Amino acid sequence: MANDPMKEWVVKDEILAATHRWPVIVIFAMAGALIALAAAYLWPAPFRANVEISVELNPYRVLDDQYLAAFTNAEFRNIDDYKHWQMLQLSIVVLSDPYLTETLHRLRAIDPYWDSVDQQALRNVLSANWRNAGVWLLSANADTKSRADNAVDIWRDVILDFTEETIASSQALFQLELTLRSLNDQLVQNQLQMTILKGSLNQLRESERELSKLDQNAALPDEYHQQLLALNIQLADVLPAGALVLSSFPEQNSTVASYLGWIEQLSSLIEDQILSLQVREEILVQEISDVSVVWEAALQDGQGLSATLNLENRNNSSPEVRQIRPYGIAALIGSMVGLLVWIGFLLIKITRKGYR
């Protein structure tokens, strides 16, 4: 049997008819808004306090931060990698245990509420938002406006205080590296001189053994004279204290005895100089060890932050506090949910009518 055309329904007509019953729509929207306002009152939204700080970095001085390779165990391929790593490291540092411990200490001094809050709980309500060097936004969430304000304000102060000390350690690293480089250069130079002197001493002793076999009153053969003259010229650069002995080098055709006397004086001088260099080496090794200990401590204290990093309070700005879910937004969301509920009832009504 064919359906009665008069009983057929059209969705568009049903929707049009429903919208003409606007009081029902208003009731649903208002009911949703009232329920949302009641929920917001019974379960109030936390407050969020925001404050800005200025983060400055000179990435073009990355070569001054050679110590970072020892801290990160990595190499930066370009300036952007270095800059991003610095910002990421800073965001980790400001939420590290020492920073949070000091923040909690200062908060507990002004509000007993924070006595029941531990480091992890505090870490969960704090955040540092950044895209790059420049302006960073520090945020703190709390159940009251004053607590959110205090949390972000004190955290900001701790960051500025602690990073100043941390960056000072990084700056000290640069000077310590120069000192270590200088001491190592001195050690290498000292060892080089010692090697040359030991080799020269061995050569002199060998020459002494050979000359002792010759007639002491005879003129020294030219071959031996040239060998000892070359040695004399070489020692002039590494044995400045023996200038007098070196200048007393026998003239050509002098007797063998005069050369042996010169060798004896020079050998004694070289032995004394070697002993002096050995003492100097021990001193340098100890100085390098002492400076290395200080360098290692400064490396850990610097926490990988650049010596060119600089953090400042942005125009002495005060925290801006707002409620994360204010009543106005709660009412708006509630009214939208009410409208969705009305649409749901409408669709159910239309669907049932279509199955009749």
For residue 105, the model assigns a pLDDT of 95
Residue found by looking up tokens 């004694």 in the block: 268
Indicate if 186 and 257 belong to the same structural domain: yes
Q: Which of 8, 147, 134, 1 is nearest to 59 (CA)?
A: 134
Task: Work out the number of other CB atoms within 10 angstroms of the CB of residue 116.
Answer: 8
Indicate if 190 and 260 belong to the same structural domain: yes
Indicate if 235 and 271 belong to the same structural domain: yes
Give a yes or no: residue 342 inside a domain. yes
Give a yes or no: residue 340 inside a domain. yes
Indicate if 186 and 291 belong to the same structural domain: yes
Task: Work out the number of other CB atoms within 10 angstroms of the CB of residue 221.
Answer: 13
Rounded-to-integer distance, Cα 33 and Cα 18, Å: 21
Give a yes or no: residue 259 inside a domain. yes
Indicate if 223 and 330 belong to the same structural domain: no
Q: Is pTM beyond 0.75 here?
A: no
Token couple for 39: 């929920």
Indicate if 288 and 333 belong to the same structural domain: no
Give the residue from 302, 317, 347 where a domain finishes. 302
For residue 6, the model assigns a pLDDT of 41
Rounded-to-integer distance, Cα 91 and Cα 309, Å: 13
Q: Give the total number of structural domains in the chain.
A: 2
CB 13 within 8 A of CB 354: no
CB 246 within 8 A of CB 232: yes
Give a yes or no: residue 73 inside a domain. no
Indicate if 282 and 335 belong to the same structural domain: no
For residue 251, the model assigns a pLDDT of 86
For residue 221, the model assigns a pLDDT of 87
For residue 291, the model assigns a pLDDT of 92
Task: Give Cα 281 to chain centroid, integer Å.
Answer: 34
Beta bridge partners of 47: 142, 323
For residue 248, the model assigns a pLDDT of 81
What are phi and psi for residue 135, nearest 5 degrees? -95, 125
For residue 98, the model assigns a pLDDT of 92
The residues, any chain, with a CB within 8 Å of residue 21's CB and separated by 6 or more, are none
Strands 310-313 and 320-323: unpaired
Give a yes or no: residue 110 inside a domain. no
Give a yes or no: residue 222 inside a domain. yes
Indicate if 253 and 346 belong to the same structural domain: no
DSSP 216: T
Q: Domain limits at 331?
A: 11-45+325-356
Indicate if 355 and 261 belong to the same structural domain: no
Indicate if 292 and 332 belong to the same structural domain: no
For residue 47, the model assigns a pLDDT of 86
Give a yes or no: residue 35 inside a domain. yes
Rounded-to-integer distance, Cα 140 and Cα 46, Å: 10
Indicate if 293 and 345 belong to the same structural domain: no
Q: Which residues of the chain are modeled with pLDDT < 70?
A: 1-22, 24-25, 28-29, 33, 36-45, 59-77, 241-242, 244-245, 316, 325-331, 334, 342, 346, 349-350, 352-356
Indicate if 334 and 291 belong to the same structural domain: no
Rounded-to-integer distance, Cα 332 and Cα 34, Å: 10
Residue found by looking up tokens 């020492």 in the block: 98
CB 254 within 8 A of CB 228: no
